[in-house]
């Protein structure tokens, strides 16, 4: 049996007319934070990360969600009850939240370890723990209050009790007047979802020590350690990510796949944070890509709505934080920020584009509601689903119904790395000793891989990549003669018999035995050099 059936959120799906969300804003349950309540983060005032993993840190200039960087301080307040005394010690809670390699009850690291991992070492959330405070009433008293009033009154009580010993302004990490992360951990298990006390992310209007204690989250502590709930609620509270219903196991903001080793944050959100770089692709690009898990997120924006809608994909492998997934390969997603939340089955802010489906998230895919999970056939990979194109997936369209224009072919086998061709007829890759592909074009500012914002070009930071992208100019331009002359000028002599390709990646000729260029019509060509 799937234990995720018992996720409190999903109980509500038995009543499909009700919204399911565990964000509570001013007395109302919401799919995601309303505009005025979205977490924000001003990175200018934060410390640098206390340490970094081996990868080069990259930053997105403009993230859709709040994107804290470096070390941030989070406050955790512990509360227990006369009928439910503290089941663990303060020290144990500190270890659960902060200790490197925490493994009690089978946890894969602490909460801090989780976010260090998924952020590639760029976000260090350190929790400072206070408690236990014995609540004024027994737990049953709060549990019997309607809607959010039980958790609301407990929250107010906890804030008031700890105020004399805590400087809340310490937890306004970016000094914008609001705190980023206040956690209330209460003794005992969550019992009823949406009433009394239950794990959720909430909102407060209280002001203490000169700061507003806006976003907070509540997590239960039944006595056995697991990190999923804390990690998930932190996702709402710190970053403002919504619940990803109709999404499955592929993100910790989706389904509750594993409590002890929760799945990673999806690569689109990770790239939005700047934890991995985006690589932007257009329909005119032809490029043979080799990629690793946790390396880049490819993005193809809808040319008609580039700020709102796009397709993204990356290599996801079912190891480590993604161990719970049932397959590996290229995982594709469709996002549209103009859609609020993931509450409707057909139009979602973020949905998986299943390799095995006609393209609608509710189209006979096995990993969605009512049995959320993951499916090996959701991934694009050699043998089963080695191509994505408008022809192969006639149901996958932009939300206005138009074709995407994206084509990915020759999708390879998941291993340490994975290959695929953006466009079609990518030239065969040279041996691993070859240097990255060199693009020859008329433009002196030849684009290679266009990486979003300030993110370093992954082609230059990784030896395994061999990538190029071409943006041809119109052949009717008067400047097209210059293209060929420029082309000849910059590459008159080259490696004898080296192949020359057109912008679609098709070989169109080769250099002579003396290394001179073949006769070619006006245009832009690509040459791979050793």
What minimum distance in Å lies between the beta carbon of 254 and Zn ion?
A: 9
CA–CA gap between residue 483 and residue 34 (Å, rounded)? 51
Q: In terms of CB distance, is 229 or 357 closer to Zn ion? A: 229
Q: In terms of CB distance, is 243 or 375 closer to Zn ion? A: 243
CA–CA gap between residue 219 and residue 168 (Å, rounded)? 19
Q: Which stretch binds Zn ion (CB under 5 A): 22-30, 318-326, 342-350, 461-469?
A: 22-30
Q: Cβ distance 131 to 143 under 8 Å? A: no
DSSP state of 312: E
Q: In terms of CB distance, is 22 or 143 closer to Zn ion? A: 22
Element (H, E) at 270: helix 267-273
Q: Which stretch binds Zn ion (CB under 5 A): 96-104, 137-145, 239-247, 403-411?
A: 239-247
What minimum distance in Å lies between the beta carbon of 29 and Zn ion?
A: 11
383: its two tokens: 């043998």
Q: In terms of CB distance, is 240 or 458 closer to Zn ion? A: 240
Q: Does 220 bind Zn ion (CB under 5 A)?
A: no
What minimum distance in Å lies between the beta carbon of 232 and Zn ion?
A: 6
Of residues 384, 387, 368, the one with CA closest to residue 376:
384
The strand pairing partners of 507, in sequence order, are: 501
CA neighbours closer than 13 Å in the CB half-sphere of residue 33? 25
The strand pairing partners of 289, in sequence order, are: 420
Q: In terms of CB distance, is 196 or 202 closer to Zn ion? A: 202
Q: Other C-beta atoms within 10 Å of 54: how many?
A: 6
Q: In terms of CB distance, is 30 or 426 closer to Zn ion? A: 30
The only residue of 22, 172, 259, 285 in contact with Zn ion, by rule CB under 5 A: 22
Please list every residue from 326 through 365 that binds Zn ion, using CB under 5 A. none
Query: Burial level of 18, CB count in 10 A (0-12/13-18/19+)?
Result: exposed
What minimum distance in Å lies between the beta carbon of 70 and Zn ion?
A: 25
What minimum distance in Å lies between the beta carbon of 242 and Zn ion?
A: 8
What minimum distance in Å lies between the beta carbon of 315 and Zn ion?
A: 27
CA–CA gap between residue 173 and residue 180 (Å, rounded)? 7
Q: Token pair 């050699």 is at which residue?
A: 382
Q: Which stretch binds Zn ion (CB under 5 A): 14-22, 273-281, 335-343, 451-459?
A: 14-22
Q: Which stretch binds Zn ion (CB under 5 A): 18-26, 78-86, 367-375, 478-486?
A: 18-26
Q: Give the pairing type, strands 418-422 and 287-291.
A: antiparallel
What minimum distance in Å lies between the beta carbon of 41 and Zn ion?
A: 19
What minimum distance in Å lies between the beta carbon of 50 and Zn ion?
A: 29
Q: Which stretch binds Zn ion (CB under 5 A): 20-28, 91-99, 217-225, 402-410?
A: 20-28
105: its two tokens: 């009850």
Give the sheet arrangement for strand 215-221, strand by strand. 28-30, 23-25, 200-203, 215-221, 182-187, 70-80, 123-134
Of residues 98, 45, 118, the one with CA closest to residue 274:
118
Q: Which stretch binds Zn ion (CB under 5 A): 15-23, 101-109, 378-386, 415-423?
A: 15-23
Q: In terms of CB distance, is 22 or 272 closer to Zn ion? A: 22
What minimum distance in Å lies between the beta carbon of 115 and Zn ion?
A: 16
Q: Does 243 bind Zn ion (CB under 5 A)?
A: yes
Q: Which stretch binds Zn ion (CB under 5 A): 27-35, 49-57, 238-246, 341-349?
A: 238-246
7: its two tokens: 């996720």
Dihedral sign computed on CA atoms, order 26, 32, 34, 36: positive
147: its two tokens: 């809607």
Q: Which stretch binds Zn ion (CB under 5 A): 127-135, 237-245, 393-401, 519-527?
A: 237-245
Please list every residue from 111 through 130 that binds Zn ion, using CB under 5 A. none
Nearest 10 degrees: CA dihedral of 459, 460, 464, 465?
20
What minimum distance in Å lies between the beta carbon of 430 and Zn ion?
A: 47
Q: Other C-beta atoms within 10 Å of 400: how many?
A: 10
Q: In terms of CB distance, is 22 or 322 closer to Zn ion? A: 22
What minimum distance in Å lies between the beta carbon of 243 and Zn ion?
A: 4
List the x/- string, 475-514, binding to Zn ion by CB under 5 A. ----------------------------------------
| Number of residues engaging Zn ion in binding (CB under 5 A) | 2
Enumerate binding residues for Zn ion (CB under 5 A): 22, 243
């Amino acid at each position: 049996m799937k234990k995720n059936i018992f996720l409190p959120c999903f109980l509500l799906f038995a009543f499909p007319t009700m919204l399911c969300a565990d964000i509570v804003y001013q007395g109302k349950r919401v799919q995601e934070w309303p505009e005025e309540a979205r977490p924000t983060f001003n990175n200018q005032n934060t410390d640098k990360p206390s340490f970094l993993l081996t990868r080069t840190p990259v930053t997105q200039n403009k993230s859709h969600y709040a994107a804290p960087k470096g070390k941030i301080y989070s406050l955790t307040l512990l509360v227990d009850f006369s009928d439910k005394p503290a089941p663990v010690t303060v020290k144990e809670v500190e270890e659960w939240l902060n200790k490197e390699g925490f493994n009690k009850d089978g946890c894969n690291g602490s909460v801090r370890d989780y976010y260090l991992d998924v952020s590639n070492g760029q976000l260090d959330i350190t929790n400072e723990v206070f408690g236990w405070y014995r609540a004024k009433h027994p737990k049953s008293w709060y549990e019997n209050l309607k809607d959010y009033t039980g958790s609301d009154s407990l929250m107010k009580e906890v804030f008031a009790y700890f105020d004399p010993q805590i400087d809340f302004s310490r937890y306004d990490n970016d000094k914008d007047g609001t705190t980023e992360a206040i956690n209330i951990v209460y003794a005992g298990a969550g019992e009823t979802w949406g009433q009394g006390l239950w794990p959720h992310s909430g909102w407060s209007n209280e002001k203490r020590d000169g700061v507003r204690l806006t976003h907070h989250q509540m997590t239960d502590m039944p006595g056995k350690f697991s990190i999923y709930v804390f990690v998930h609620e932190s996702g709402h509270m710190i970053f403002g990510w919504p619940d990803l219903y109709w999404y499955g196991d592929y993100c910790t903001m989706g389904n509750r796949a594993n409590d002890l080793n929760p799945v990673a944050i999806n690569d689109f959100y990770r790239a939005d944070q700047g934890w991995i770089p985006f690589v932007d692709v257009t329909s005119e690009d032809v490029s043979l890509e080799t990629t690793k898990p946790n390396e880049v997120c490819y993005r193809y924006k809808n040319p008609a709505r580039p700020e709102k809608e796009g397709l993204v994909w990356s290599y996801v492998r079912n190891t480590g934080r993604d161990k719970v997934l049932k397959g590996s390969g290229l995982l594709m997603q469709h996002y549209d920020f103009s859609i609020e939340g993931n509450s409707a089955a057909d139009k979602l802010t973020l949905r998986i584009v299943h390799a095995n489906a006609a393209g609608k998230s509710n189209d006979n895919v096995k990993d969605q509601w009512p049995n959320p999970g993951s499916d090996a056939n959701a991934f694009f990979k050699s043998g089963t689903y080695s191509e994505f194109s408008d022809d192969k997936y006639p149901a996958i369209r932009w939300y206005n119904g138009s074709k995407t224009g994206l084509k990915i072919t020759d999708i390879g086998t998941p291993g340490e790395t994975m290959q695929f061709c953006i466009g079609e007829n990518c030239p065969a890759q040279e041996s691993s000793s070859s240097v990255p592909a060199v693009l020859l074009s008329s433009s002196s500012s030849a684009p290679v891989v266009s990486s979003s914002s300030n993110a370093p070009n992954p082609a230059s930071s990784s030896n395994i990549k061999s990538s190029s992208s071409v943006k041809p100019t119109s052949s009717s331009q008067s400047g097209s003669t210059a293209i060929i002359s420029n082309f000849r000028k910059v590459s008159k002599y080259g490696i004898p018999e080296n192949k020359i390709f057109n912008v679609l990646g098709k070989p169109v000729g080769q250099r002579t035995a003396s290394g001179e260029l073949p006769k070619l019509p006006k245009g832009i060509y690509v040459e791979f050099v050793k």
